[in-house]
Structure 1
């Protein structure tokens, strides 16, 4: 049980640091809530293969990842931006946005980011935690 907790804590930290790093590089700033969200997204992306079989194509996994990240971004945005009023991000100027918290343009980015996250998680699990060797069907 403790090994599982440490594994998911490690994966959460990896996802958090990667997400914060991406934001700092692309936006020049970030917020601690994005570390938390990035870690959660990374762990959940890694669980996709626990919920659906490996035989599903990587593109379908990426689509599910995009939906999951977009949903978690909406949920987090509603809490930190609307409810708490911290104004961590605002997509209200983007076409097709929902409540200024999500937009199709970023969902498309999450599609590609989820692919990187899924593959990285799979290989970390294989190398560090001796889980199944990843194998992929692209389409």
Structure 2
């Protein structure tokens, strides 16, 4: 019975991670497009687009990244690493998922969800250095949120504030 209950909590934890970070991933793109003044608007709605501002495919991509990082974060070999090491792994994982899904959706299926070919330091137009830096920072939030869910679901130690996670990153702790 205990195993079943823990398994149910684990699944709930991952579903919440998927839903929250799927939503965050959508909003990160909308905010980024608004900041860069490249919102499309209603008249030029593209296939599978949310008001022309983001692709609905960003939701499962972002959710998948959070579930993968959260699953790593459940393993002592990962969560015992220094924060900067966890961030390198997490940000690299997000960048790899973005590259793989970009190659599949953009180059293979020709959905043209994103194209970074005009950005400096891009690879195949599917990932760019500036976005990768953002993914490394976002991975801190994913790690913290997963720790917060573990506190609520598994009665584990309450995580410190999100700010303290960033301070640990800066101090290489």
Distance 2:18 2:146 in 1: 10
Distance 1:72 1:117 in 2: 15
What TM-score do you get using the length of structure 2 for normalisation? 0.72
Distance 2:88 2:146 in 1: 16
Q: Report what 2:60 is aligned to.
A: 36
Say how many residue pairs are matched: 138
SS of equivalent to 1:65:
helix
Q: 1:132 aligns with which of 145, 151, 156?
A: 156
- Tell whether the 8 Å contact from 1:48 to 1:61 is kept in structure 2 after alignment: no
Distance 2:9 2:147 in 1: 17
For residues 58-77 of structure 1, the aligned pairs below 5 Å read 58-77=83-102
**Which ranges in structure 2 are unaligned for 5 or more consecutive residues?**
1-6, 34-38, 40-52
1:23 maps onto 2:7 in alignment: no
Distance 2:22 2:62 in 1: 5
**Which ranges in structure 1 are unaligned for 5 or more consecutive residues?**
none
What TM-score do you get using the length of structure 1 for normalisation? 0.87
Q: Which segment is superposed worse, 60-69 or 95-104?
A: 95-104
**RMSD, matched Cα:** 1.9
Which structure is larger by alpha-carbon Rg, 1 or 2? 2
